């Protein structure tokens, strides 16, 4: 939110009805239903919570992604990029090609993939200024003497130590700076760099569907397990991947399904495929609040009415939890990108709305509008408004 500092350059020069107008630059803030149209002023500081962060050159931004009790935050300074760039944060279980060798282990078996894509859809890995990253893991061990932050060099097959990173044992928060993006993790180990473990030789799968790996029994890759809530998963790279439909389950026809308790299920985490790319373009998702979304270019777009839903007649609708839904963010519509918390005003009837969970919510009175004091209001036409 931009705050106007007290200055001789900014004076309140008119009060007409319910409109406050700030002079000099013609800035219309969230105190008014009035003000002219035209393109709204560029917001210098952007915060995106649980959806992709899109910044233009010169803008400062923060991306915050919550994964249950675990949180990852990215701060992008104003001079870090030269063109419009979108940042995404994803968390997944470490797979067999990411786990370190020896006795070292990834805390909570979680890795955080932070990516950036330019307006031309090219991957951006290096930046003009250091980015600041924080990862909060309540799973941190009591003794953190050997716990450090690493980034993954997949080509070399090793984890590289990030120097200067700090870890607070009381809060479980790791903070560090980086001038490139990659997959990051917090590892309890003693060697730098740390090689990726070679996948251990497995014994023959027994009648329980398990194999012995380093003296510990695990369900083998390809085995089907069924949770108490009757959801069925297949094990891939030591992690579980949900099977969503009968068509997918038919691929495993004749294969036994092993019932497991919640504690066993939790040990496997989600595969990177399930956590980040389990649904493709056109898939329909239904949230716990019964709202239905369609996936478009890796983001979710709310389906607001039955008429729109009829376009997908006969197509399966997948029920998902909040953690899965949050990974897709909200579709960015229009050049300005109206994410959660943005204010939009209809050019036709001048009604003002706030975007919440990708849906417009009408602001009915001045008391409600004052909650957004100082925030710009974006004028949109009916075609944009209807998409929310």
CA 309 – CA 315 distance, rounded (Å): 10
Query: DSSP readout, 18-71?
Result: TEEEE-SS----TT-S----SPPPPPSEEEEESS-EEE-TT-EEEEEEEETTEE
Residue 51 contacts residue 340 (beta carbons within 8 Å)? yes
Distance CA(91)–CA(63), nearest Å, equals 14
CATH 2.60.220.30 fits 46-195, yes or no: yes
Residue 340 sits at the vertex; the CA angle it makes with 338 and 341, to the nearest 5 degrees, is 95
**162 token code pair:** 């990030």
Token duo for residue 146:
């050997």
> According to CATH, where is 2.60.220.30 located in the chain?
46-195
Residue 215: what pLDDT?
A: 43
Enter the DSSP assignment of 142. Answer: S
Q: What is the reported pLDDT for 200? A: 41
Contact 72, 55 (CB under 8 A): no
Instruction: Give per-10-residue mean pLDDT for the chain (388 aa).
Output: 39 37 39 47 79 90 88 93 92 82 84 90 88 91 86 86 89 90 89 65 51 56 85 80 75 84 77 51 82 78 79 82 70 50 82 83 87 80 71
Tell me how far the alpha carbon of residue 101 is from its chain's centroid: 29
Question: Tokens for 119?
Answer: 């307006």
pLDDT score, position 42: 62
Strands 359-362 and 352-356: what pairing? antiparallel
pLDDT score recorded for residue 27: 42
Which letter, b or e, does each residue of 210-225 get, where b requires 16 or more Cβ atoms within 10 Å of its Cβ? bbeeeeeebbbbebbb
pLDDT of residue 149: 93
Number of CB atoms found within 10 A of residue 297's CB: 11
pTM higher than 0.75, yes or no? no
- pLDDT at position 305 is 75
Q: What is the pLDDT of residue 339?
A: 67
* pLDDT given for residue 3 in this prediction: 39
């Amino acid at each position: 939110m931009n705050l106007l500092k007290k200055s001789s350059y900014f004076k309140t020069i008119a009060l007409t009805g319910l409109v406050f107008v700030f002079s000099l630059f013609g800035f219309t803030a969230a105190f008014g239903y009035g003000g002219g149209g035209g393109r709204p002023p560029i917001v210098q500081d952007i915060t995106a919570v649980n959806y992709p962060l899109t910044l233009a050159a010169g803008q400062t931004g923060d991306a915050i992604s919550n994964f249950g009790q675990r949180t990852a935050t990215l701060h992008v300074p104003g001079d870090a990029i030269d063109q419009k760039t979108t940042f995404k944060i994803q968390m997944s279980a470490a797979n067999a090609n990411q786990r370190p060798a020896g006795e070292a282990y990834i805390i909570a078996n979680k890795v955080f993939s932070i990516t950036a894509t330019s307006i031309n859809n090219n991957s951006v890995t290096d930046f003009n200024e250091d980015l600041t990253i924080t990862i909060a893991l309540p799973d941190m061990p009591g003794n953190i003497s050997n716990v450090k932050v690493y980034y993954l060099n997949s080509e070399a097959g090793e984890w590289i130590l990030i120097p200067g990173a700090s870890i607070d044992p009381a809060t479980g928060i790791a903070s560090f700076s980086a001038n490139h993006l990659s997959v990051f993790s917090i590892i309890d180990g003693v060697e730098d760099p740390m090689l990726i473990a070679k996948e251990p030789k497995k014994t023959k799968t027994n009648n329980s569907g398990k194999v012995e790996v380093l003296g510990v029994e695990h369900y083998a890759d390809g085995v089907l397990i069924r949770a108490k809530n009757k959801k069925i998963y297949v094990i891939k790279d030591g992690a579980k991947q949900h099977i969503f439909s009968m068509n997918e389950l038919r691929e495993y026809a004749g294969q036994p399904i092993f019932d497991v308790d919640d504690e066993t299920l939790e040990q496997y985490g989600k595969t990177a495929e399930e956590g980040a790319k389990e649904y493709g373009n056109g898939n329909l998702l239904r949230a716990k609040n019964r709202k239905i979304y369609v996936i478009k270019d890796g983001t979710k777009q709310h389906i607001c009415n039955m008429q729109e839903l009829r376009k997908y007649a006969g197509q399966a609708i997948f029920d998902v939890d909040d953690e899965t839904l949050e990974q897709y963010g909200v579709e960015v519509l229009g050049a300005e990108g109206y994410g959660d918390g943005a204010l939009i005003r209809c050019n036709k009837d001048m009604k003002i709305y706030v975007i919440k969970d990708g849906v417009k919510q009408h602001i009915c009175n001045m008391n409600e509008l004052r909650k957004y004091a100082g925030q710009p209001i974006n004028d949109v036409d009916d075609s944009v408004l209807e998409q929310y």
